[in-house]
Structure 1
Amino acid sequence: MRPTRVRYGVVGFALTLAILAYIQRVAISQAAGPISADLGLDKQQMGLVLGAFGLSYALFEIPMGLLGDKLGVRRVLTQIVLLWSFFTALTGAAWSLTSMWIIRFLFGAGEAGCFPNLTRMLSQWLPRSERIRAQALMWAFTRWGGAVTPPLVLVGINLFGWRWSFVAFAMLGVVWAVFFLAFFKENPADHPKVNAAELELLKDSQALVSHHEGGWTRILLQPQVFLLIAQYFCWSYVWYFFVTWMPTFLAEEYQQSPAAVAGLAVLPLFLGGLGSLISGALPSWVPRRRVALFAFIALAALMFAVTQVHNVGIVIMLLALGSFSGDLTTPISWNSCVEIGKRYTATVAAAMNMFANFSGFVAPVVGGIILQRTGNNWNLMLYMMVGVASVGAVCWLFLDPTGEREALPARTPA
């Protein structure tokens, strides 16, 4: 009997939600100009608005990951998608710095737990051989969702204004939640279209998400978890530049029009998605930790190179290659959550993503302060990213979640 392919429909839910999450998350960076003009916000204030999402997203990650491990992803994902869609729509009703900050903070709380719960969903619905490829594809789609957002927002702003554009994006999340609730089953055995052969294929995956050694606190206190969290914080610190300050950087430092910025902003996110795909497609004998180590080294070198050139075409290519390098590590990081967390996959993923999104608060806020107090010294912001990426490389000198160091075959003497 051939296995049915119901699991690929589950991957489809993950991919479409990843796109929606990033469309709704990235939209505000492209709308930062009209929002600032309408609400009278300076750079430091806009940095606070951009950072509000990362702060609340980080604070609510572990609680939402724990809920997913306890209550199941079907219930938790449905609730959080409806919640964040509501606050996406409400973004268009903001009338001041305070109201915008509160709305974006609550929007971040709504999105918290999305990717930890998607990681758990994939880990229980896919065999190991397909899991990292699905993670790679999901993160590629997040980047591509972010890549198409600037043109979409530009069209929306021109047609409806920035306020109604956020309402339109919110409706997409509601549609997703309706279909997910109707068709997704928590346990593959409960799905009427899954046959015995597919259940057999998923037997080890079900055992993995049921296995645990001690409580969730014991899992989170492992040194490997600390290193995993630290390196992902470092990549996220740099990545948030691409979805917060990069459009403003291109507009001000290189005098690019809004249409040109929207076009240029596509490339780094597109290549980031390509980096995720390539990482997931690497053959099993390639040590993932070495890939991650060299990716961070390349990221640091490329961000430094941006400070040394003045041609916008070269700059955008360097930024795109930096995004590509950094996103080589993304599927590796998320699959490491499964390898380490097992029964507490969503909790470990939530802890990793929590600190990553603290960087989503720190990076844009620190960037806004630097720009406001140094007369738009963009290079200083970039130098900080170089240093943070270097710390990420150091983490991968010691991080070995799957035991690859021990698993490497010994060399036979000549």
Structure 2
Amino acid sequence: MSTPTGSTPSPSTDRPTRTRYWVIVFAVTLAIVQYVDRVAISQAMPDIAAEMQFSDAQKGMIFSAFTLAYALFEIPTGWLGDKLGAKKVLIRVVLWWSFFTAATGWAWSYASMLVTRFLFGAGEAGCFPNLTKALSTWLPKADRTRAQALMWMGARWGGAAAPLLVVAVMAFVSWRTAFMLFAIFGVVWAVIFYLWFRDNPREHPGVNAAELELLKENEHNVAGHGNVPWKKLVSRPAMWLLWAQYFCLSYGWYFYVTWLPTYLRDERGMDIKSNAFMGWLSGLLEGSMSPEMSLKVLAAALAGIPLFFGGFGSLTAGLISGRLISRGANVRNVRRAFGVIGLTGASTLLMASFYIRDPLLAMLSMGLASFSNDLTMPGSWASCMDIGGKYAGTVSGSMNMMGNFGGMAGPIVVGLVLSLTSRDWQLAFAISAVIYFLGAVCWLFIDPVTPLEKEEG
């Protein structure tokens, strides 16, 4: 049974409609778009840097201009979602970052690229806090961890596809035109989302009374809530630990979407073909393209491995943790276990990838590091939903802000290490491994379930 927009459905014995699951579809598709737009620059950077004569330090600053803005605008855009509703904010930020995706192709200097990527990051900052806000309104608590797992799986796989997508597009057009083409994805998403989505499930014509009954616990999340209890938020040890672990996680993870293509091209170079399988694949590709292009395709495929594996990490964590919790396992302990195991594994496997000389095996090790990294993701974001309640947008925004300060620091530190040490990649990897491990330590002490609202009462 469906209801007209704005009406209140009468009680029904019908089976619940499944309209709520379309919100997950919107979240997954936007996550894919967001990551394609975000990751594209890492694959295009060698060509951009060659044209504009950027140094390693300048490349690091350009990568980090995005993450600085992303971090600074997380709380404001999350708060706006709590106050105005996810729909208004999501449409605006998607159109904003789509414009600056296109504008990346219009940059003419180091300064213009720096400003453009900063403004691009300001738009993308509103994505995940407001998707989390929408999910906290449209999904029962039992579905939230799995939904976050699917959303982050989509994000990672979108990022994994981006290197090959960029290479494919740039085989026909310049890197400047490629960014203008990528901007179209977000515009299309925003139009469809505008026509379909409602902040309040009760106002959607596809939701029947039985489905609303499943969502009745979320009704207090629907109305605007701008009066965030900031003092309570910043005085909770659990929040500081949640922020710290996400800083550590993002510091290590941002290497995969910033410096990795440069590392593969400069440090590994033709060594990519030393693996028997990769050498065979290169020979196969050279039957239809130049040796230089075949090397770009191989490097792009390898660069996508960490994000591809990361998608499986998010999915695995969501499925296993959901099953454990449904069987009575303690939510706090399950999330802590995934946090500790995930970040410890990321630390160990990332460092191992540097010492493995076979390029394919090295990237598989790095892929498993990303898999381990993302075992932590669904629990981190589900914790924001449980802790935040009606302030889920603000709480998730605060965590992602701290994470992106880590994401900002990572590319800068790598750039400085390379500039000051004659390109000592080993030191850059070691720093990331240590920071990953510190994130694992944080998870030993996090309370990821106690709601913020209880402290208000």
Structure 1 residue 184 corresponds to structure 2 residue 197 = yes
| Residues 274, 324 of structure 1: 8 Å contact kept | yes
Matches within 5 A, 1:250-329: 250-255=264-269, 256=272, 257-282=295-320, 283=323, 284=325, 285=329, 287-329=334-376
Q: 1:337 & 1:159 partners in 2: Cα distance? A: 43
The SS at the match of 1:402 is coil
2:441 aligns to what? 394
Q: 1:214 & 1:347 partners in 2: Cα distance? A: 8
Q: 2:228 & 2:369 partners in 1: Cα distance? A: 39
Q: 2:350 & 2:26 partners in 1: Cα distance? A: 34
Structure 1 residue 343 corresponds to structure 2 residue 357 = no
Give the one of 360, 366, 381 matched to 1:334: 381
Structure 1 residue 158 displacement after superposition: 1.4
The SS at the match of 1:194 is coil
Q: 1:211 & 1:83 partners in 2: Cα distance? A: 23
| Residues 53, 360 of structure 1: 8 Å contact kept | no
2:140 aligns to what? 127
Structure 1 residue 358 corresponds to structure 2 residue 371 = no
| Residues 200, 222 of structure 2: 8 Å contact kept | no
* Structure 1 runs not aligned, ≥5 long: 404-414
1:373 aligns to what? 420
Structure 1 residue 235 corresponds to structure 2 residue 273 = no
2:168 aligns to what? 155
Structure 1 residue 206 displacement after superposition: 2.5
Structure 1 residue 37 corresponds to structure 2 residue 50 = yes
| Residues 209, 344 of structure 1: 8 Å contact kept | no
TM-score (norm 2): 0.86
Structure 1 residue 223 corresponds to structure 2 residue 237 = yes
| Residues 140, 214 of structure 2: 8 Å contact kept | yes
Q: What is the total number of aligned residue pairs between the two structures?
A: 403
Structure 1 residue 209 displacement after superposition: 6.1
Q: 2:407 & 2:152 partners in 1: Cα distance? A: 17
Residue deviations 1:42-83 (CA, integer Å, cap 9, x gap): 111111111110001101111111100000000000000000
Q: 2:171 & 2:264 partners in 1: Cα distance? A: 20
The SS at the match of 1:398 is coil
2:290 aligns to what? none
**Larger Rg over CA atoms:** 2
Give the one of 80, 104, 115 matched to 1:102: 115
Structure 1 residue 203 corresponds to structure 2 residue 242 = no
Cα 1:214–1:154 change in 2 (3 A) is closer
One-letter amino acid matched to 2:193: F
One-letter amino acid matched to 1:224: A
RMSD: 1.5
Regions of 4+ moved over 4 Å: 208-214
Q: 1:171 & 1:326 partners in 2: Cα distance? A: 31
* Structure 2 runs not aligned, ≥5 long: 1-13, 273-294, 451-457
Structure 1 residue 207 displacement after superposition: 3.5
| Residues 84, 224 of structure 2: 8 Å contact kept | no
Q: 1:116 & 1:93 partners in 2: Cα distance? A: 29
Matches within 5 A, 1:42-121: 42-121=55-134
Residue deviations 1:295-333 (CA, integer Å, cap 9, x gap): 111111112212322221221011000000010000000
1:194 aligns to what? 207
Structure 1 residue 208 displacement after superposition: 5.4
| Residues 55, 357 of structure 1: 8 Å contact kept | yes
Choose 252-261 or 30-39, whichever is displaced more.
252-261
Q: 1:211 & 1:74 partners in 2: Cα distance? A: 12
Q: 1:295 & 1:146 partners in 2: Cα distance? A: 20
Percent identity between matched residues is: 50
Residue deviations 1:84-118 (CA, integer Å, cap 9, x gap): 00000000010110000000000001111210110
